Amino acid sequence: TTFHTRCLGCRANVPVLAPIKVIQKHMKKYKVKDCWEMSTYGATLSFLERTFKNVYKSEYSTKYKSGQIVNNVRIEDVQNLSFKSRSLDLITCNGVFEHVYDSLKGFNECFRVLKNNGALIFTVPLFDIPKTKKIAKIVNGEIVFEGEPEFHHSRIEGPYTIPTFWHYSLQDICDIL
């Protein structure tokens, strides 16, 4: 059983709330005008919407292309963003990159769309393993897992539809970036 400390007001846990402090620290040094949260809900998005005028939010879907609007929700695939180069001051996400098949391409896409002095502030689950491990791959269009399959839910596609591809290591996450 895993227990999380939660805010009594919003019910968010510490990993979800932690990026807000990092965002506030970044704001003291750099101007933030245009930002994007890779979700349509959560404490980080609520903070961004209270703090900044121009906030994009999105969900991921395998069925639609980046930039499409589906049921009033913007779709973005971090591996192929629809944002113009150097168009955002801040990108945030909680628990997304472990679900990105080509996460290096996703990180590079984020860096492409960030303005100078922009920031990508994110969380991922970290494992105490020697090296980051790819736990699933795509073979002939099908997802093949090494070990027990891991999925999370999608607001667009439903429960247990988004596979986990990576277990990031405490030991090498900074080197990967």
pLDDT tens, position by position, 113-150: 999 999 999 999 999 999 999 999 999 999 999 999 99
Mean pLDDT on 147-174: 91
DSSP string, 71-98: TTEEB--TTS--SPTT-EEEEEEES-GG
pLDDT tens for each residue of 80-112: 999 999 999 999 999 999 999 999 999 999 999
Q: Looking at residue 7, what is its pLDDT? A: 64
CA–CA distances in Å: residue 47 to residues 21, 107, 132, 155: 10, 23, 31, 20
Q: Looking at residue 158, what is its pLDDT? A: 85
What's the CA gap between 63 and 52, in Å, rounded? 30
Q: Looking at residue 157, what is its pLDDT? A: 84
pLDDT tens for each residue of 24-81: 999 999 999 999 999 998 999 999 999 999 999 999 988 899 999 998 999 999 999 9
Q: Hey, what are 25's tokens?
A: 């620290």
pTM to 2 decimal places: 0.91
Residues 6+ apart with CB under 8 A from 120: 91, 92, 107, 110, 111, 114
Between 156 and 120, the higher pLDDT residue: 120
Q: Looking at residue 5, what is its pLDDT? A: 72
